[in-house]
C-alpha cells in the first residue's frame, strides 16, 4: 500500500463520529472543522492541498493546481494532517457536521477511485488524493445541480464520507439503471455511468415539485444513497422560519395558533 494503513471505529447512531487509530509515524488528513478530539502525542499540522503524492508532483505549481481544484468544489485551500509522533498507538476522532451516517470505504476494494458529492468527504489516510471530477456531458453540466462538480477520491487507503438521513449501499449490475434525485447521491464507484435525464410531462414539470431533472446511474458498480440531503433539510427549515404561522391555522386564524401552542394572534 502507498497510503498509510489506519484502523478505525465508528461511534453513535444518528450523530456519529469516527475514531482513527494511528501507529507511530502514521498520518490521517481531514477537512478543516472535522476535528473532535485526540490523544496526547499527535501533532496537528495545516497543509496546503491534500498532502498526497499527486499534489506534491510538480513542486509549488502542482500544489497550487491541486489546491485550486479544491476551491472549485467549495472546499478550503488547506487540509489538516494529524500524525502520531509518539511511541505507541494514538487515537484521533472526527465528527460529522450534521445528523446522519459516516461511511467507511476501502479504496483498494473499490477500484482505487470513487466519486462523491463535493461536501461528502470527511477524512482519509494520508496519501489519498482528494481532487475534482467534472461531468463531461453538457446536459449533466448544465442541469446536474449538486452533481455537476464532484469530488474524486483516489488511492489505496481508507476514506470516510458523511451523509445525512438513512444511508443505503446499493450494488448495480451490468446495465442496471437507477433514477435518483441528484441531492440523494453520496457517491459511487468509477465504473458507474452518471448522467442527467429530463423528467418529462407538462404536469410533472409545472406541478410535480420534484424538479425538472433527475440523475441516472447505470451499473456496474456500487452507489451510496442518502435519504435526506442536508440542502433539502436546510430549505425546509428556512421555509418554516420565514413563513407566518397564520398559514397553517388559516381557518381558525389566531385561535388555531393558540391551540397549536403558539400564543400569538
Residue 246, phi then psi, degrees to nearest 5: -60, -20
Question: pLDDT value at position 70?
Answer: 58
Question: Where do the domains of the chain lie?
Answer: 7-166
Q: Are 92 and 34 in contact (CB under 8 A)?
A: no
Is the pLDDT score of 258 beyond 50? no
pLDDT tens digits along 204-226: 444 444 556 788 999 999 999 99
Question: pLDDT value at position 133?
Answer: 80
Question: pLDDT value at position 110?
Answer: 95
Cα distance between residue 38 and residue 151, in whole Å: 27
Is the pLDDT score of 146 beyond 70? no
pLDDT tens digits along 100-125: 899 999 999 999 999 998 789 999 99
Cα distance between residue 78 and residue 100, in whole Å: 25
Hey, what CATH topology would domain 7-166 get?
Answer: Double-stranded beta-helix (3.60.160)
Question: pLDDT value at position 174?
Answer: 97
Cα distance between residue 154 and residue 36, in whole Å: 25
Is the pLDDT score of 162 beyond 90? yes
3-class SS at 261? coil
Question: pLDDT value at position 137?
Answer: 55
Amino acid at each position: 500500500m502507498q497510503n498509510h494503513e489506519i484502523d478505525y471505529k465508528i461511534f453513535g447512531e444518528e450523530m456519529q463520529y469516527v475514531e482513527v487509530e494511528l501507529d507511530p509515524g502514521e498520518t490521517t488528513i481531514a477537512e478543516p472543522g472535522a476535528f473532535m478530539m485526540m490523544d496526547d502525542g499527535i501533532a496537528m499540522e495545516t497543509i496546503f492541498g491534500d498532502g498526497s503524492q499527486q499534489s506534491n508532483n510538480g513542486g509549488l505549481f502542482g500544489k497550487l493546481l491541486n489546491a485550486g481544484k479544491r476551491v472549485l468544489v467549495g472546499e478550503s485551500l488547506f487540509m489538516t494532517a494529524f500524525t502520531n509522533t509518539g511511541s505507541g498507538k494514538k487515537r484521533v476522532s472526527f465528527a460529522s457536521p450534521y445528523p446522519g451516517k459516516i461511511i467507511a470505504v476501502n479504496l483498494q476494494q473499490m477500484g482505487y477511485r470513487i466519486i462523491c458529492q463535493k461536501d461528502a468527504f470527511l477524512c482519509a489516510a494520508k496519501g489519498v488524493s482528494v481532487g475534482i471530477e467534472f461531468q463531461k456531458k453538457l446536459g449533466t453540466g448544465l442541469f446536474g445541480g449538486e452533481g455537476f462538480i464532484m469530488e474524486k477520491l483516489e488511492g489505496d487507503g481508507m476514506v470516510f464520507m458523511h451523509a445525512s438521513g438513512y444511508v443505503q449501499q446499493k450494488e448495480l449490475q451490468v446495465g442496471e439503471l437507477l433514477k435518483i434525485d441528484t441531492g440523494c447521491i453520496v457517491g459511487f464507484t468509477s465504473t458507474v455511468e452518471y448522467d442527467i435525464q429530463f423528467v418529462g410531462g407538462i404536469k410533472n414539470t409545472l406541478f410535480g415539485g420534484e424538479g425538472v431533472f433527475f440523475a441516472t446511474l447505470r451499473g456496474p458498480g456500487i452507489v451510496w444513497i442518502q435519504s435526506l440531503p442536508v440542502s433539502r433539510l436546510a430549505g425546509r427549515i428556512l421555509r418554516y422560519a420565514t413563513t407566518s404561522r397564520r398559514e397553517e391555522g388559516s381557518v381558525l386564524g389566531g385561535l388555531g395558533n393558540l391551540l397549536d401552542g403558539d400564543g400569538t394572534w
